[in-house]
């Protein structure tokens, strides 16, 4: 794209009703997230809409449509709160537009600016090759893989990668991630 | 010990007031757990006293004193709920009595009996060598180490191990763990 057709901006409370349909679809698809399987629009909200110091952002198209969303914040409280974590969902109807990469680049840069020392993903499904490739391109590496820890709907029991990259305020993302 | 001077039993609601003093001491010591640093007896309770399907147990001495506690349950909801996790705390005044090993042996066996396929520790502080040695003796292995993810009070930024062992109902613990 020569022009970006969407912007990554803070989510408002009203955005949840637009996120929920693709959140539900992605969880039900069973290939990427270990969220509860019985969530409703009401009970699902706190699983995605973060309270400070967490943040939730959306990729909003020019016409206002929400194409994807990300949430991020400290991975642990207390003596682990200097490492961030994040989660990402892109509306399947908006795939191929670079939404995931734009969300990820935004979140990595924002976490670096906020002073986090690194970012950890706790559970990247190893068969979710698009996600693994994107995180690798953005400078994350696989720290380890917990065997058979995710019950993929199509693949059965597969591993969950723990992925990590250090962050520094003057190096928010490696060069390969700066074209989005 | 030729006789065990304590028993591992389900915690009651009343046990929290006995757990809280050593929970607070261990968190403040800053070498093993990334819990919030501003917890009170009231706000700390839900961080340790599990709701089903989670479980909290205590090691109770013959005189009723609580020597240590453990909590365990599914590590993740939904498509990750077949893997358990657990946390352990032993009153520093009761160290050296085998309380930690007895709690761990109990929890591993109970999780296997409950049908979990494995047990994962998400954040074992690498400088907590007593814990790492115990988990290794109980059949856990280090899946990977997230660098500098824990701000140890004495050691500064140190790694957090992700540790894992498979469970099977007919093999609740390896032979080295069966003497407690």
Contact of B89 with B19, CB cutoff 8 Å: yes
Instruction: Find out whether B151 and B28 touch, Cβ atoms under 8 Å.
Output: no
Query: Which of B34, B78, B80 is closest, CB to CB, to A79?
Result: B34
- The predicted structure's pLDDT at residue A141: 98
Q: How far apart are CA B1 and CA B65, in angstroms?
A: 18
Closest residue on chain B to A82 (Cα): B149
**Chain B contact for A81 (CB, 8 A cutoff):** yes
Quick check: B34 and A77 CB within 8 A? yes
Q: Measured between CA atoms, how close is B99 to chain A, in angstroms?
A: 25
Helix (H, G, I), strand (E, B), or coil: what is residue A54? coil
Residues 6+ apart with CB under 8 A from A74: A53, A54, A80, A81, A82, A83, A84, A85, A116
Distance between start and end Cα atoms, chain B: 9
pTM, full prediction: 0.92
Q: pLDDT: is A69 or B168 the higher one?
A: A69
Of B120, B146, B152, the CB nearest to A143: B146
A141 in reach of chain B (CB within 8 A):
no
Strand ranges of the sheet holding A66-74, from the earlier edge strand across to the other edge:
A6-10, A55-61, A66-74, A83-90, A118-125, A156-166, A141-152
Whether residue A80 lies within 8 A of chain B, CB to CB, comes out as yes
Write out chain B residues lying below 8 Å of A27, CB-based.
78
Q: How far is B35 from chain A (nearest CA, A)?
A: 5
What is d(CA A170, CA A156) in angstroms, rounded to the nearest whole number? 41
One digit per residue, pLDDT tens: chain B, 180 residues?
Answer: 434 699 999 999 999 999 999 999 999 999 999 999 999 999 999 999 999 999 999 999 999 999 999 999 999 999 999 999 999 999 999 999 999 999 999 999 999 999 999 999 999 999 999 999 999 999 999 999 999 999 999 999 999 999 999 997 555 555 444 333
The minimal CB distance from A36 to the residues B34, B78, B146 is found for B78
Say whether B79 and A151 touch across the interface (CB within 8 A): yes
Neighbours of B87 (CB within 10 A): 20
Q: How far apart are CA B128 and CA B28, in angstroms?
A: 15
């Amino acid at each position: 794209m020569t022009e970006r057709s969407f912007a990554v901006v803070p989510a408002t409370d009203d955005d949840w009703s637009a996120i929920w349909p693709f959140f539900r679809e992605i969880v039900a698809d069973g290939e990427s997230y270990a969220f509860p399987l019985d969530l409703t629009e009401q009970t699902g909200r706190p699983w995605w809409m973060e309270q400070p110091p967490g943040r939730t952002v959306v990729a909003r198209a020019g016409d206002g449509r929400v194409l994807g969303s990300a949430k991020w914040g400290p991975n642990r409280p207390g003596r682990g709160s200097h490492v961030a974590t994040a989660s990402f969902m892109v509306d399947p109807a908006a795939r191929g537009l670079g939404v995931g990469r734009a969300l990820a680049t935004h979140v990595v840069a924002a976490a670096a600016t906020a002073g986090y020392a690194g970012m950890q993903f706790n559970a990247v499904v190893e068969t979710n090759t698009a996600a693994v490739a994107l995180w690798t391109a953005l400078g994350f590496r696989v720290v380890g893989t917990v065997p058979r820890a995710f019950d993929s709907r199509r693949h059965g029991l597969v591993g969950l990668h723990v992925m990590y990259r250090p962050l520094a305020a003057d190096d928010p993302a490696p060069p390969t991630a700066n074209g989005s």
